[in-house]
Amino acid sequence: ELGESLLSVGSDVPFKFPPTFTFVFRAFTSLDGIGKGLNKDYDLTKLTVPYLRKLSEMKYGSETKALTVGFQEKTGLNTKDIFSVVKAPKNMAYVTDTLERMERGDLKVRVRALEAEQRLQRLELVQSNTNSALFGGLLLNTGLILSAVSQDPTFLARALTWAGAAMMGKYGLGLVKLQQLDKKLENYKVKK
């Protein structure tokens, strides 16, 4: 029954150990096993106490200060925790005020979604290309029809034809930009 409970907890909230942690833990347990096999009085924790004291002295300056810091962290009697207790009502009032302002509509929450922005950027480029192709085709057709209708093409017909050709050129450049953007988004694994 206990095993099933632990299994369900493990599947509900999976956790992973970093690979280096498992290798180091395995090395220490191997050393401990070998030491106990060779000497019954071998105790790895007793052997590490002097080194741990030196490490705590290097970090905190003295063993007393290390014990004080450890006690403060365990009991919550450090300045950070006391400050958070003193400041908690003010923080709660700020949260309440912010929520009330959101409910009234005085405050609007703006969330940046990078993927949505990238998709919008692509959509704007596609729309610009579509507009260029549409207006380029319209201008080009109008210019060509005016040129065909009159025996001597007028300045307006030539201008419309060249403007249509320029818009079609803009459309071609837009397609190149779209391909470049797609390549860039593909590098960032963004779906089109």
Q: Are 185 and 118 in contact (CB under 8 A)?
A: yes
CA distance 177 to 181: 6
Residue 190: the pLDDT is 54
3-state secondary structure of 14: coil
Q: Are 178 and 125 in contact (CB under 8 A)?
A: yes
Q: Are 174 and 129 in contact (CB under 8 A)?
A: yes
CA distance 157 to 147: 6
pTM of the predicted model as reported, rounded to 2 decimal places: 0.42
Q: What sign for the dihedral angle of Cα 66, 70, 75, 81?
A: positive
Consecutive sets of 10 residues in the chain, 192 residues long: mean pLDDT of each? 57 64 84 88 84 82 80 76 83 90 83 77 93 93 89 87 93 93 76 56
> Residue 65, CB half-sphere, CA atoms under 13 Å: how many?
9
Residue 123: the pLDDT is 93
CA distance 172 to 89: 61
